[in-house]
C-alpha cells in the first residue's frame, strides 16, 4: 500500500454552510422557464433588537459525544464547546448508523454535523470509505478543507474530485486508499467510468444540498452513484431546503431515515432585509455606487442574473475605484478559487457573482448581500442572503426593485 502525507487546510468555522460541477446551466432570468414573480414585500424583514433573546439549550457538549478522544482534542483546541442545534440533534443519530435527513438554516454548521461522526467512524475502521457529493466545486473544496482541519496527524486521507480542475492529479490521488472521496456529481461519474472509483467499497454516502443538485440537472448522475453502492450503507441528506422532488429521492435512497429539522424560518432572524427602489429612468449603477460608499459597507457580495452581466458590473465597479472581482460558472476553476480567496482574505471589498455563489459558501463577515438583479425564485433569494448574518452575527440584505 502506498503512503503519503496528509496536508492540512485553512481553518473553518463549524457554523457555515457552495455550486458547480464541470458544467452548469445558465443562470435563470425573470423571463426564463422556472422563474417566478416574487412580491417585493417578501424582500423586507427588518431586524428588531429587543431585550428578550431566544437561547438554544443543547442536550450535549462536544466532549459529551461518544467520539474518538483525538477528535475531541482537535475540537477543544479550536475552542468549540457547544454544538449548534443541527449538530446537537444529528450527530448522535449519525454515530448510531441511522440514515439521516437533516434540515437547518444555512450557516448553522451542517457540514460538521456529518463530518465529525464520520471521522470518528473512520478512526475506528481505517479501511472505511465515505463519499460526499456536493452540487458545486466550491462547496466540495470547502468540505475537503474543513475535513483536513479536523484530522491533522490522524492519517485520514481524502481526494476532491471536481469538474473544471485538472483531472490528472485527481486520478493520481485515487491510486491510493482514500477514506473520503468528495466531489461534484459529473466529475465523480467520470472518475467512476474510468474505473478509478469502486462504488461497492463505500459504506456511507452524504448528499449535501441535494435539492440544488436536482435543480442543476444532476438527477441521473445521483441515481447512478446510489445504484452502484451497497444496499447496506448509511445515507445522509443535509440541506437548508427540502423540495417535493427531493422527498421522492429520499424515498428511493434512504431506509427509514431519522428526520432532524431545526429550521424555524426561511431566512435568518439576524439578517435585516430591505429593498432599494429604482425609479424609471434612474441609473441603477449610480444608486449602487452611492450605496457602496456608505459607512458599514465593508464586505459586499453582489448577485447578478447572468454571467455576462456579472463580469460587466465587476469591471464597471473596478473602473469607479472599488476593489471588485467576479465569479460565475464560465470562469475556470483556478480563477474562481482565487477570486473567492481574495474576498475571504479581505483583499477585495466586493465579489460580484451569479447564483453559483448562493449555496453553502462559508465567507466570514460578509456585511451586505445586494441583489442587483432580482433572483429567479424565492428559494434562490433565501440562499443568496444566507451568505450574510452567519454564526449569529448581524447582516444586511438589499434587493433592487423597479
Q: Among 202, 232, 261, where does a domain finish?
A: 261
Give a yes or no: residue 11 inside a domain: no
Distance separating alpha carbons of residues 357 and 383, to the nearest angstrom: 9
Per the domain annotation, does 7 fall within a domain? Answer: no
Nearest Cα neighbor of 170 from 145, 192, 150 is 192
- Whether residue 357 is contained in a domain is answered as yes
Q: Scanning the structure block, which residue is given the C-alpha cell 425564485?
A: 377
In this predicted structure, what is the pLDDT of residue 170? 96
Taking alpha carbons only, the member of 376, 267, 262, 377 closest to residue 45 is: 267
Q: Which domain holds residue 124?
A: 69-261
Based on the fold, state whether residues 378 and 252 are members of the same structural domain.
no
Q: Are residues 239 and 211 in the same domain?
A: yes
Number of domains making up the chain: 2
Residue 53: predicted pLDDT: 40
pLDDT at 247: 84
Q: Are residues 310 and 351 in the same domain?
A: yes
Whether 252 contacts 227, CB under 8 Å:
no
| 80 to 62, 63, 65, 72, 353: CA distances (angstroms) | 8, 10, 13, 10, 32
Query: Does residue 246 form part of some domain?
Result: yes
Task: Give the whole-angstrom CA distance, residue 29 versus residue 4.
Answer: 47
Q: Is residue 61 a part of any domain in this protein? A: no
Same-domain check for residues 251 and 387 = no
The answer to whether residue 369 is domain-embedded is yes
Do residues 291 and 340 share a domain? yes
Query: Are 233 and 294 part of one and the same domain?
Result: no
Q: Are residues 230 and 297 in the same domain?
A: no
Asked whether 338 and 138 are in contact (CB, 8 A), the reply is: no
Residue 67: how many other CB atoms lie within 10 Å: 20
Q: What is the mean pLDDT of each run of 10 residues along the chain (402 residues)?
A: 38 36 39 63 59 62 94 93 91 96 78 96 97 91 95 96 92 96 95 96 93 81 92 89 79 91 66 89 92 93 92 95 90 83 92 78 85 86 82 85 86
Cβ neighbours of residue 202 closer than 8 Å, sequence gap 6 or more: 129, 130, 131, 181, 229, 230, 233
Q: Are residues 125 and 237 in the same domain?
A: yes
Which CATH number belongs to the domain containing residue 236 in this structure?
Answer: 3.40.50.300
Does residue 388 share a domain with residue 241?
Answer: no
The domain boundary, picked from 261, 288, 307, lies at 261
Of 269, 219, 266, nearest in space to 103 by CA: 266
Give yes or no for a contact between 246 and 210, defined as CB atoms under 8 angstroms apart: yes
- What b/e sequence results for 256-280 when a residue is b if at least 16 CB atoms lie within 10 Å of its CB, and e otherwise? ebbebebbeebbbebbbbebbeeee
Is there a single domain that holds both residue 226 and residue 319?
Answer: no
Task: Clarify whether residues 115 and 224 are in a common domain.
Answer: yes
Question: Is 356 among the domain residues?
Answer: yes
Same domain, 356 and 228: no
Rg of the chain over Cα atoms, rounded to whole angstroms, equals 21
Domain boundary among the residues 199, 234, 261 is at: 261
Would 365 be classed as within a structural domain? yes
Return the pLDDT at 382. 82
Amino acid at each position: 500500500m502506498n503512503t503519503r502525507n496528509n496536508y492540512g487546510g485553512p481553518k473553518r468555522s463549524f457554523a457555515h454552510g457552495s455550486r458547480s460541477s464541470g458544467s452548469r446551466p445558465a443562470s435563470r432570468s425573470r423571463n426564463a422557464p422556472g422563474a417566478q414573480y416574487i412580491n417585493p414585500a417578501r424582500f423586507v424583514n427588518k431586524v428588531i433588537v429587543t431585550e428578550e433573546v431566544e437561547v438554544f439549550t443543547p442536550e450535549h457538549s462536544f466532549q459529551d459525544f461518544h467520539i474518538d478522544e483525538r477528535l475531541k482534542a482537535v475540537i477543544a483546541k479550536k475552542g468549540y464547546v457547544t454544538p449548534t442545534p443541527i449538530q446537537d440533534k444529528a450527530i448522535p443519530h449519525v454515530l448510531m448508523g441511522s440514515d439521516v435527513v437533516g434540515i437547518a438554516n444555512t450557516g448553522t454548521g451542517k457540514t460538521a454535523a456529518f463530518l465529525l461522526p464520520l471521522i470518528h467512524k473512520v478512526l475506528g475502521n481505517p479501511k472505511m470509505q465515505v463519499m460526499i457529493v456536493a452540487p458545486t466545486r466550491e462547496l466540495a473544496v470547502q468540505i475537503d478543507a474543513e475535513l483536513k482541519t479536523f484530522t491533522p496527524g490522524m492519517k485520514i486521507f481524502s481526494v476532491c474530485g471536481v469538474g473544471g480542475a485538472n483531472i490528472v492529479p485527481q486520478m493520481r490521488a485515487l491510486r491510493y486508499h482514500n477514506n473520503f472521496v468528495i466531489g461534484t456529481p459529473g466529475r465523480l461519474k467520470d472518475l467512476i467510468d474510468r474505473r478509478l472509483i469502486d462504488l461497492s467499497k463505500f459504506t456511507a454516502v452524504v448528499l449535501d444540498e441535494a435539492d440544488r443538485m436536482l435543480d442543476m440537472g444532476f438527477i441521473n448522475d445521483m441515481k447512478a452513484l446510489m445504484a452502484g453502492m451497497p444496499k447496506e450503507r448509511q445515507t445522509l441528506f443535509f440541506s437548508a431546503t427540502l423540495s417535493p422532488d427531493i422527498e421522492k429521492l429520499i424515498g428511493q435512497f434512504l431506509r427509514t431515515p431519522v428526520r432532524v429539522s431545526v429550521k424555524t424560518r426561511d431566512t435568518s432572524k439576524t439578517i435585516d432585509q430591505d429593498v432599494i427602489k429604482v425609479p424609471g429612468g434612474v441609473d441603477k449603477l449610480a444608486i449602487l455606487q452611492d450605496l457602496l460608499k456608505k459607512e458599514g459597507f465593508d464586505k459586499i457580495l453582489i448577485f447578478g442574473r447572468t454571467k455576462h452581466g456579472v463580469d460587466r458590473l465587476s469591471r464597471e465597479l473596478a473602473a469607479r475605484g472599488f476593489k471588485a472581482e467576479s465569479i460565475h460558472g464560465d470562469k475556470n476553476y483556478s480563477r474562481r478559487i482565487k477570486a473567492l480567496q481574495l474576498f475571504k482574505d479581505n483583499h477585495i471589498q466586493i465579489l460580484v457573482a451569479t447564483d453559483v455563489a448562493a449555496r453553502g459558501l462559508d465567507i466570514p463577515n460578509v456585511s451586505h448581500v445586494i441583489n442587483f438583479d432580482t433572483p429567479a425564485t424565492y428559494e434562490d433569494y433565501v440562499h443568496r442572503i444566507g451568505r450574510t448574518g452567519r454564526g449569529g452575527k448581524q447582516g444586511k440584505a438589499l434587493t433592487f426593485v423597479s
